[in-house]
Amino acid sequence: MTEQLFTLGLIGYPLSHSRSPLLHNAALRALGLPGKYHLFPVRNAAGISYLCQQIRQERIQGLNVTIPHKRTILSFLDETKPVAEVVGAVNTLYLQDGKIVGDNTDAEGFLQDILKAFGRDFIHRQGRGLILGAGGAARAAAYALLQNGWNVTVAVRRSSQGNQFRSDFSSHGLVVDIIDFSKDHLVRNNPDLLINATPVGMTPNIADSPWPADLPYPNKAIIYDLIYNPPKTKFLARAKMEGKQTRNGSGMLIIQAEASFNRWTGLQSPPGVMQKAFYRFEHNLQRSEV
Ligand code: NAP
Protein backbone atom coordinates (compact mmCIF):
# COMPACT_ATOMS: atom_id res chain seq x y z
CA MET A 1 0.00 0.00 0.00
CA THR A 2 1.39 3.42 -0.91
CA GLU A 3 1.54 5.92 1.92
CA GLN A 4 -0.60 9.08 1.56
CA LEU A 5 1.54 12.08 0.58
CA PHE A 6 0.33 15.32 2.14
CA THR A 7 0.69 18.39 -0.04
CA LEU A 8 -0.50 21.34 1.99
CA GLY A 9 0.03 25.06 1.66
CA LEU A 10 -0.96 28.68 1.90
CA ILE A 11 -2.47 30.95 -0.80
CA GLY A 12 -2.09 34.70 -0.42
CA TYR A 13 0.12 37.60 -1.36
CA PRO A 14 2.67 38.50 -0.09
CA LEU A 15 3.63 35.46 1.99
CA SER A 16 7.24 35.83 2.95
CA HIS A 17 6.46 36.50 6.65
CA SER A 18 4.20 33.50 7.15
CA ARG A 19 4.88 31.22 10.11
CA SER A 20 2.47 28.54 8.78
CA PRO A 21 5.07 26.31 6.99
CA LEU A 22 7.04 26.12 10.22
CA LEU A 23 3.99 24.94 12.20
CA HIS A 24 2.56 22.45 9.72
CA ASN A 25 5.89 20.96 8.66
CA ALA A 26 6.72 20.39 12.35
CA ALA A 27 3.41 18.53 12.78
CA LEU A 28 3.96 16.42 9.63
CA ARG A 29 7.46 15.49 10.87
CA ALA A 30 6.29 14.70 14.41
CA LEU A 31 3.66 12.29 13.04
CA GLY A 32 6.07 10.76 10.50
CA LEU A 33 3.75 11.79 7.63
CA PRO A 34 5.39 12.25 4.22
CA GLY A 35 4.67 15.61 2.61
CA LYS A 36 5.25 19.31 2.89
CA TYR A 37 3.46 22.61 3.49
CA HIS A 38 4.27 25.03 0.66
CA LEU A 39 3.84 28.77 0.11
CA PHE A 40 1.76 29.62 -2.99
CA PRO A 41 2.17 33.38 -3.51
CA VAL A 42 -0.82 33.90 -5.79
CA ARG A 43 -2.11 37.31 -6.81
CA ASN A 44 -5.04 36.64 -9.12
CA ALA A 45 -8.12 34.54 -9.78
CA ALA A 46 -6.32 32.33 -12.32
CA GLY A 47 -3.85 31.26 -9.63
CA ILE A 48 -6.63 30.54 -7.12
CA SER A 49 -8.58 28.57 -9.72
CA TYR A 50 -5.52 26.44 -10.58
CA LEU A 51 -4.90 25.56 -6.92
CA CYS A 52 -8.58 24.70 -6.40
CA GLN A 53 -8.33 22.29 -9.36
CA GLN A 54 -5.35 20.67 -7.62
CA ILE A 55 -7.53 20.12 -4.54
CA ARG A 56 -10.32 18.66 -6.67
CA GLN A 57 -7.85 16.24 -8.28
CA GLU A 58 -6.54 15.34 -4.80
CA ARG A 59 -3.05 16.55 -5.66
CA ILE A 60 -3.33 19.03 -2.78
CA GLN A 61 -4.96 17.87 0.46
CA GLY A 62 -5.39 21.22 2.15
CA LEU A 63 -4.81 24.94 1.80
CA ASN A 64 -4.84 27.91 4.11
CA VAL A 65 -6.00 31.22 2.69
CA THR A 66 -4.76 34.61 3.76
CA ILE A 67 -4.81 38.28 2.69
CA PRO A 68 -6.00 39.30 0.11
CA HIS A 69 -8.07 36.20 -0.77
CA LYS A 70 -10.00 35.36 2.43
CA ARG A 71 -13.24 36.73 1.00
CA THR A 72 -12.64 36.38 -2.78
CA ILE A 73 -12.08 32.63 -2.34
CA LEU A 74 -15.80 32.22 -1.51
CA SER A 75 -16.73 32.21 -5.22
CA PHE A 76 -14.45 29.20 -5.92
CA LEU A 77 -16.06 26.87 -3.38
CA ASP A 78 -18.70 24.16 -3.65
CA GLU A 79 -19.64 24.49 0.02
CA THR A 80 -18.97 26.88 2.88
CA LYS A 81 -19.02 25.76 6.51
CA PRO A 82 -21.47 27.73 8.68
CA VAL A 83 -18.73 29.50 10.63
CA ALA A 84 -17.01 30.68 7.41
CA GLU A 85 -20.38 31.74 6.03
CA VAL A 86 -21.17 33.96 9.03
CA VAL A 87 -17.65 35.31 9.38
CA GLY A 88 -17.63 35.90 5.62
CA ALA A 89 -14.02 34.72 5.37
CA VAL A 90 -12.36 31.40 4.65
CA ASN A 91 -8.94 30.46 5.99
CA THR A 92 -8.98 26.69 5.32
CA LEU A 93 -9.82 24.65 2.20
CA TYR A 94 -10.14 20.91 1.65
CA LEU A 95 -12.04 18.30 -0.33
CA GLN A 96 -14.95 16.60 1.44
CA ASP A 97 -17.19 14.11 -0.38
CA GLY A 98 -15.85 15.39 -3.70
CA LYS A 99 -16.66 19.02 -2.86
CA ILE A 100 -14.26 21.89 -2.23
CA VAL A 101 -15.15 23.12 1.23
CA GLY A 102 -14.25 26.48 2.76
CA ASP A 103 -13.88 26.60 6.52
CA ASN A 104 -12.71 29.12 9.10
CA THR A 105 -10.58 28.07 12.08
CA ASP A 106 -9.76 31.60 13.30
CA ALA A 107 -12.89 31.84 15.48
CA GLU A 108 -12.05 28.50 17.09
CA GLY A 109 -8.40 29.57 17.51
CA PHE A 110 -9.43 32.81 19.20
CA LEU A 111 -11.97 31.21 21.54
CA GLN A 112 -9.75 28.30 22.56
CA ASP A 113 -6.88 30.68 23.24
CA ILE A 114 -9.05 32.87 25.48
CA LEU A 115 -10.19 29.76 27.34
CA LYS A 116 -6.60 28.60 27.75
CA ALA A 117 -5.34 31.99 28.93
CA PHE A 118 -8.20 33.28 31.08
CA GLY A 119 -10.31 30.23 31.87
CA ARG A 120 -13.85 29.03 31.33
CA ASP A 121 -15.28 31.36 34.01
CA PHE A 122 -14.08 34.39 32.09
CA ILE A 123 -15.91 33.29 28.94
CA HIS A 124 -19.00 32.19 30.87
CA ARG A 125 -19.21 35.66 32.42
CA GLN A 126 -20.80 36.74 29.09
CA GLY A 127 -19.16 40.14 29.29
CA ARG A 128 -18.56 42.92 26.81
CA GLY A 129 -15.95 42.80 24.05
CA LEU A 130 -14.65 45.85 22.20
CA ILE A 131 -12.98 44.95 18.91
CA LEU A 132 -10.79 47.44 17.05
CA GLY A 133 -11.00 46.88 13.27
CA ALA A 134 -13.63 45.18 11.13
CA GLY A 135 -11.76 42.81 8.79
CA GLY A 136 -11.78 39.00 8.69
CA ALA A 137 -10.02 38.53 12.02
CA ALA A 138 -12.39 40.97 13.76
CA ARG A 139 -15.36 39.06 12.37
CA ALA A 140 -13.92 35.76 13.64
CA ALA A 141 -13.37 37.20 17.13
CA ALA A 142 -16.86 38.76 17.14
CA TYR A 143 -18.43 35.45 16.10
CA ALA A 144 -16.60 33.53 18.85
CA LEU A 145 -17.72 35.99 21.55
CA LEU A 146 -21.32 36.25 20.32
CA GLN A 147 -21.65 32.46 20.23
CA ASN A 148 -20.77 32.53 23.92
CA GLY A 149 -23.34 35.11 24.86
CA TRP A 150 -21.08 38.17 24.92
CA ASN A 151 -22.04 41.70 23.84
CA VAL A 152 -19.78 42.87 21.04
CA THR A 153 -18.92 46.39 19.92
CA VAL A 154 -16.76 46.95 16.84
CA ALA A 155 -14.83 50.17 16.23
CA VAL A 156 -14.52 50.95 12.51
CA ARG A 157 -12.81 53.71 10.58
CA ARG A 158 -15.05 53.29 7.50
CA SER A 159 -18.78 53.41 8.11
CA SER A 160 -19.48 51.38 4.94
CA GLN A 161 -17.42 48.51 6.36
CA GLY A 162 -19.25 48.79 9.67
CA ASN A 163 -22.67 48.70 7.97
CA GLN A 164 -21.69 45.62 5.99
CA PHE A 165 -20.41 43.91 9.16
CA ARG A 166 -23.65 44.67 11.01
CA SER A 167 -25.93 43.56 8.17
CA ASP A 168 -23.95 40.32 7.45
CA PHE A 169 -24.12 39.34 11.13
CA SER A 170 -27.73 40.38 11.55
CA SER A 171 -28.75 38.18 8.57
CA HIS A 172 -27.57 35.28 10.78
CA GLY A 173 -29.42 36.58 13.84
CA LEU A 174 -26.28 38.02 15.45
CA VAL A 175 -26.22 41.57 16.81
CA VAL A 176 -23.10 43.75 16.90
CA ASP A 177 -22.83 47.42 17.90
CA ILE A 178 -20.77 49.43 15.46
CA ILE A 179 -19.02 52.60 16.63
CA ASP A 180 -16.77 55.12 14.97
CA PHE A 181 -13.03 54.59 15.60
CA SER A 182 -12.62 57.86 17.47
CA LYS A 183 -11.66 58.86 20.99
CA ASP A 184 -15.15 60.18 21.71
CA HIS A 185 -16.71 56.82 20.99
CA LEU A 186 -13.97 54.57 22.39
CA VAL A 187 -14.04 56.36 25.75
CA ARG A 188 -17.73 55.53 26.26
CA ASN A 189 -17.06 51.80 26.29
CA ASN A 190 -16.12 49.80 29.33
CA PRO A 191 -15.37 46.32 27.98
CA ASP A 192 -14.10 43.24 29.81
CA LEU A 193 -11.99 42.39 26.77
CA LEU A 194 -10.35 44.92 24.43
CA ILE A 195 -9.10 43.33 21.20
CA ASN A 196 -6.86 44.77 18.53
CA ALA A 197 -7.91 43.23 15.22
CA THR A 198 -6.19 45.87 13.07
CA PRO A 199 -2.66 45.42 11.71
CA VAL A 200 -1.59 48.61 13.54
CA GLY A 201 1.63 47.94 15.48
CA MET A 202 2.69 44.96 13.40
CA THR A 203 6.32 44.65 12.23
CA PRO A 204 7.80 46.86 10.78
CA ASN A 205 5.49 49.60 12.17
CA ILE A 206 6.14 48.68 15.79
CA ALA A 207 5.99 52.26 17.11
CA ASP A 208 2.26 52.46 16.27
CA SER A 209 -0.68 51.57 18.47
CA PRO A 210 -4.37 51.47 17.55
CA TRP A 211 -5.34 52.90 20.98
CA PRO A 212 -5.03 56.70 21.32
CA ALA A 213 -1.98 57.61 23.45
CA ASP A 214 -3.92 60.10 25.59
CA LEU A 215 -6.87 57.78 26.27
CA PRO A 216 -6.64 55.52 29.35
CA TYR A 217 -7.40 51.85 28.77
CA PRO A 218 -10.84 50.76 29.96
CA ASN A 219 -10.30 50.06 33.66
CA LYS A 220 -11.39 46.43 33.94
CA ALA A 221 -10.39 45.20 30.49
CA ILE A 222 -8.04 42.38 29.57
CA ILE A 223 -6.02 43.53 26.58
CA TYR A 224 -5.68 41.12 23.64
CA ASP A 225 -3.71 41.79 20.47
CA LEU A 226 -4.23 39.48 17.50
CA ILE A 227 -0.77 40.46 16.27
CA TYR A 228 2.03 38.01 17.14
CA ASN A 229 4.90 39.77 15.36
CA PRO A 230 6.30 41.49 17.38
CA PRO A 231 5.30 39.40 20.42
CA LYS A 232 4.90 42.54 22.54
CA THR A 233 3.29 45.31 20.50
CA LYS A 234 3.17 48.89 21.73
CA PHE A 235 -0.55 48.29 22.48
CA LEU A 236 0.37 45.40 24.82
CA ALA A 237 3.53 46.97 26.26
CA ARG A 238 1.57 49.98 27.55
CA ALA A 239 -1.15 47.73 28.98
CA LYS A 240 1.46 45.61 30.76
CA MET A 241 3.08 48.71 32.21
CA GLU A 242 -0.33 49.71 33.58
CA GLY A 243 -0.61 46.32 35.29
CA LYS A 244 -3.20 44.85 32.94
CA GLN A 245 -3.55 41.22 31.88
CA THR A 246 -2.47 40.86 28.26
CA ARG A 247 -2.27 38.25 25.52
CA ASN A 248 -0.77 38.33 22.02
CA GLY A 249 -1.92 36.48 18.90
CA SER A 250 0.57 33.59 18.97
CA GLY A 251 -1.75 31.24 20.90
CA MET A 252 -4.57 31.88 18.44
CA LEU A 253 -2.22 31.36 15.50
CA ILE A 254 -1.11 27.97 16.82
CA ILE A 255 -4.61 26.75 17.71
CA GLN A 256 -6.11 27.76 14.34
CA ALA A 257 -3.21 25.94 12.63
CA GLU A 258 -3.81 22.80 14.73
CA ALA A 259 -7.50 22.92 13.78
CA SER A 260 -6.70 23.25 10.03
CA PHE A 261 -4.17 20.40 10.25
CA ASN A 262 -6.83 18.21 11.81
CA ARG A 263 -9.30 19.01 9.00
CA TRP A 264 -6.73 18.01 6.34
CA THR A 265 -5.20 14.91 7.87
CA GLY A 266 -7.86 13.68 10.30
CA LEU A 267 -5.08 13.65 12.90
CA GLN A 268 -4.19 15.85 15.87
CA SER A 269 -0.85 17.59 15.78
CA PRO A 270 0.87 16.15 18.89
CA PRO A 271 0.43 18.54 21.85
CA GLY A 272 3.11 21.23 22.01
CA VAL A 273 4.75 20.42 18.65
CA MET A 274 3.56 23.52 16.78
CA GLN A 275 4.08 25.67 19.88
CA LYS A 276 7.68 24.49 20.28
CA ALA A 277 8.45 25.06 16.59
CA PHE A 278 6.97 28.57 16.83
CA TYR A 279 8.86 29.62 19.96
CA ARG A 280 12.16 28.10 18.75
CA PHE A 281 11.84 30.16 15.57
CA GLU A 282 10.92 33.38 17.45
CA HIS A 283 13.80 32.85 19.89
CA ASN A 284 16.32 32.40 17.05
CA LEU A 285 14.87 35.39 15.22
CA GLN A 286 15.29 37.61 18.28
CA ARG A 287 18.88 36.41 18.80
CA SER A 288 19.71 37.11 15.16
CA GLU A 289 18.29 40.64 15.53
CA VAL A 290 20.37 41.51 18.64
P1 NAP B 1 -8.00 42.91 7.36
O2 NAP B 1 -9.08 42.01 6.85
O3 NAP B 1 -7.16 43.70 6.43
O4 NAP B 1 -8.69 43.90 8.43
C5 NAP B 1 -7.98 44.90 9.12
C6 NAP B 1 -8.98 45.86 9.73
O7 NAP B 1 -8.26 46.86 10.45
C8 NAP B 1 -9.84 46.61 8.70
O9 NAP B 1 -11.10 46.88 9.25
C10 NAP B 1 -9.04 47.90 8.52
O11 NAP B 1 -9.81 48.97 8.03
C12 NAP B 1 -8.64 48.16 9.96
N13 NAP B 1 -7.53 49.09 10.07
C14 NAP B 1 -6.34 49.03 9.43
N15 NAP B 1 -5.58 50.08 9.79
C16 NAP B 1 -6.31 50.83 10.65
C17 NAP B 1 -6.08 52.05 11.35
N18 NAP B 1 -4.92 52.71 11.23
N19 NAP B 1 -7.05 52.51 12.17
C20 NAP B 1 -8.23 51.86 12.29
N21 NAP B 1 -8.51 50.70 11.64
C22 NAP B 1 -7.56 50.19 10.83
O23 NAP B 1 -6.97 42.05 8.23
P24 NAP B 1 -7.29 40.76 9.14
O25 NAP B 1 -7.06 39.53 8.36
O26 NAP B 1 -8.58 40.97 9.80
O27 NAP B 1 -6.08 40.84 10.18
C28 NAP B 1 -6.03 41.87 11.16
C29 NAP B 1 -4.86 41.60 12.11
O30 NAP B 1 -5.08 40.35 12.80
C31 NAP B 1 -3.52 41.46 11.39
O32 NAP B 1 -2.53 42.04 12.19
C33 NAP B 1 -3.32 39.96 11.32
O34 NAP B 1 -1.96 39.58 11.31
C35 NAP B 1 -3.96 39.53 12.64
N36 NAP B 1 -4.42 38.13 12.60
C37 NAP B 1 -3.94 37.29 13.53
C38 NAP B 1 -4.38 35.99 13.54
C39 NAP B 1 -3.83 35.05 14.58
O40 NAP B 1 -4.00 33.85 14.43
N41 NAP B 1 -3.19 35.55 15.61
C42 NAP B 1 -5.32 35.53 12.61
C43 NAP B 1 -5.81 36.44 11.66
C44 NAP B 1 -5.35 37.75 11.66
P45 NAP B 1 -9.67 49.33 6.46
O46 NAP B 1 -10.42 48.22 5.75
O47 NAP B 1 -10.30 50.66 6.36
O48 NAP B 1 -8.21 49.31 6.13
**Would you please indicate which residues are annotated as catalytic (active-site) residues?**
70
Contacts of 72 (CB under 8 A, 6+ apart): 45, 48
Which of 65, 67, 21 is closest to 202 using CA atoms? 67
Q: Using CA atoms, how far apart are residues 37 and 60, in angstroms rounded to an integer? A: 10
Q: Using CA atoms, how far apart are residues 55 and 49, in angstroms rounded to an integer? A: 10
| Main-chain dihedrals φ then ψ at residue 64, nearest 5 degrees | -95, 155
H or E element: which one contains 145? helix 136-147
Task: Give residues (CB < 6 A) around ligand 1.
Answer: 67, 106, 109, 133-138, 157-158, 161, 181, 197-200, 202, 210, 226-228, 249, 252-253, 256
Q: Using CA atoms, how far apart are residues 142 and 165, in angstroms rounded to an integer? A: 10
Q: Using CA atoms, how far apart are residues 132 and 162, in angstroms rounded to an integer? A: 11
Whole-structure pTM value: 0.94
Q: Pairing state of beta strands 6-12 and 35-41?
A: parallel
In this structure, the residue with its CA closest to atom 16 of ligand 1 is 198
Q: ω before 204 within 30° of 0 (cis)?
A: yes
Which of 123, 82, 125, 79 is closest to 101 using CA atoms? 79
Q: For the CA atoms of 209, 211, 216, 222, what is the dihedral angle to 10 degrees? A: -90
Atom from ligand 1 closest to the CA of residue 248: 41
Q: What is the pLDDT along the chain (290 residues), one digit of tens a residue?
A: 567 899 999 999 999 888 999 999 999 999 999 999 999 999 999 999 999 999 999 999 999 999 888 878 999 999 999 999 999 989 999 999 999 999 999 999 999 999 999 999 999 999 999 999 999 899 999 999 999 999 999 999 999 999 999 999 999 999 999 999 999 999 999 999 999 999 999 999 999 999 999 999 999 999 999 999 999 999 999 999 999 999 999 999 999 999 999 999 999 999 999 999 999 988 787 777 65
Q: Out of 226, 229, 248, give the residue to mutate to test ligand 1, the one with the largest number of ligand atoms within 8 Å of its CB.
A: 226
Q: Out of 72, 161, 198, give the residue to mutate to test ligand 1, the one with the largest number of ligand atoms within 8 Å of its CB.
A: 198
CA of 35 to the centre of ligand 1 (A): 32
Atom from ligand 1 closest to the CA of residue 250: 41
